Amino acid sequence: MHTLFLLILAWFAASAGLLAVLHWRTLLASWREPVLACPVLIVESDDWGPGPSEDAAALQELARVLESLRDEGGRCAVMTLGVVSSVPDGQAILAGGCSTYLRRTLADSAFMAIREAMQAGAARGVFAPQWHGLEHFWPDSLLACLGERADPAQRQALRDWLQADCPRSEDLPSALQSRWVDAGRLPSTPLTPSAVALAMREEAAVLRYVFGAVPEVAVPNTFVWGDAIERAWAACGVSCVVTPGSRYEERDATGGLASPTRRIRNGDRGRGDVCYVVRDVYFEPLRGHRAEHVWQALEAKTAQGRATLLETHRSNFIGPSEMRDAAIGELERALRGALTDHHDLRFMSTAELAQILRDAESPFRERDLRRRVEAWLRRVAAEAGPARILKITGLGSVIRTVGNFLGGVNFRRSRYQADC
Ligand SMILES: [Zn+2]
């Protein structure tokens, strides 16, 4: 019996050694990633910008619901608005033979109702504007796809798209929606730094006009971006970049995303010292995502000491009124259920989360060693890289059991938790 016990012990010790040798970078990075001391839930929504006046009504209804939800500290639920600051002036582009790109921005009087709905929500703390492109595409790429050498079927589809009063960027081909590369021809090619810098300054001017200041947070369209983009953002006042946990830098020959070029964790730094946050929980009611999905994700992220950032899009909230109401209703159910499950849940903006990730002294950061070890074990168990070795050796079960034990006996609240 004693020998059997020693053999089992030796097996797991050898397995742990192998894990450390093969995946030491992952283990170290998981440990270094900040651990939050309480559950944090942020609704991240993208693609808001010029559109029909019904969009303003959707924003007002969202603001009403978000304001009715309060965390323990009295803070209302926050939805970030990834703002696309303009739409193409389709009639003018077509009249000019598609040789010159022309736009209408959020500053246009036609979009006053949307602008005011965004501003009112931001003033009440329920909306947090974020950079999401002056357009959701690179204008020269669009013109290239409208040119004589482009695919005729795609060219006609884009001409039809431009006929709309407010063309929706959601309706563009996926590859074209990557603003920060030239996808006029595939595979995509990088943009020149000077063109990027000019585009950022133009976008900053619109954002400053609409919101009085430029947001601190940027969301790369389709998560395709590179170092030059980060430097340009940082030069314009951006200090945080939202990521899916990895970075994509180009579109391949088929228009799909090329393989990611790097893995990203919460609190990692990019060019210009921008702080990355990871957003990888999807909540698209139009695609059938339900509140239960949010609650499960919140449970797992909280156990890992991470914030839960829900990714959603304008498209869920701008359809026929029945669809819009159903989507907003599901969002409300998700947030109310989260508050019921986690009495210490905190709502905040992504900019505030980035500030916590930067500040080791923040009261929102966990200091209790046992809780940090538990979060680390749960992170390791959820990693894709070591998944095979954890499964084959049985080490994954051991890690989960120890994590559960630490979580179960960790009845003492962090001394900082009451403040967070
Ligand atoms: Zn988008």
* Residues 85-97: tens digit of each pLDDT: 999 999 999 999 9
The reported pLDDT for the residue numbered 38 is 97
97-108 tens-digit pLDDT: 999 999 999 999
Measured in Å, residue 222 CA sits from the centre of ligand 1 at 6
Instruction: In whole angstroms, give the CA distance from residue 227 to residue 390.
Output: 34
* Centre of ligand 1 from the C-alpha of residue 344, in Å: 31
Pairing mode, strands 240-243 and 275-278: parallel
pLDDT (mean) for 32-38: 98
**Rounded to the nearest 10 degrees, how much is the dihedral formed by the CA atoms of 144, 146, 149, 155?**
140
- Say how many Å lie between the CA of residue 335 and the centre of ligand 1: 23
If one counts every other C-beta atom within 10 angstroms of the C-beta of residue 248, the result is: 22
The Cα–Cα gap between 16 and 19 comes to: 5
Q: pLDDT value at position 418? A: 41
Kindly report, residue by residue over 220-233, the tens digit of the pLDDT: 999 999 999 999 99
12 or 248: whose pLDDT is higher?
248
DSSP alpha helices (H): ranges in 102-218?
112-123, 139-146, 152-163, 193-211
CA 29 / ligand 1 centre spacing (Å): 29
**Taking the CA of residue 363 as centre, how many other CA atoms within 13 Å lie in the half-sphere pointing to its CB?**
7
Which pLDDT band holds residue 420 (cuts at 50, 70, 90)? very low
Alpha carbon of 97 to ligand 1 centroid (Å) = 27
DSSP designation for 362: -
Residue predicted with more confidence, 28 or 398: 28
- Can you list the pairs that 263-267 forms with residues at least 24 positions away whose Cβ atoms lie under 8 Å? 263/29, 265/29, 265/30, 265/32, 265/33, 266/33, 266/34, 266/306, 266/307, 266/357, 267/33, 267/34, 267/357, 267/358
CA distance 262 to 362: 28
| pLDDT for residue 398 | 83
Nearest to 215 by CA among 194, 198, 240: 240
Angle in degrees, CA 323, 290, 306, rounded to 5:
130
Residue 1: pLDDT band (50, 70, 90) is low
Write the pLDDT tens digit of every residue in 306-315: 999 999 999 9
Residue 114 confidence (pLDDT) above 60: yes
Domains of the chain: 40-358 (3.20.20.370), 366-420 (no CATH)
Give φ, ψ of 284 to 5 degrees.
-120, 90
pLDDT at residue 145 in the model? 97
Residue, of 319 and 326, whose pLDDT is higher: 326
Evaluate whether 168 touches 137 at the Cβ level (below 8 Å). Answer: no
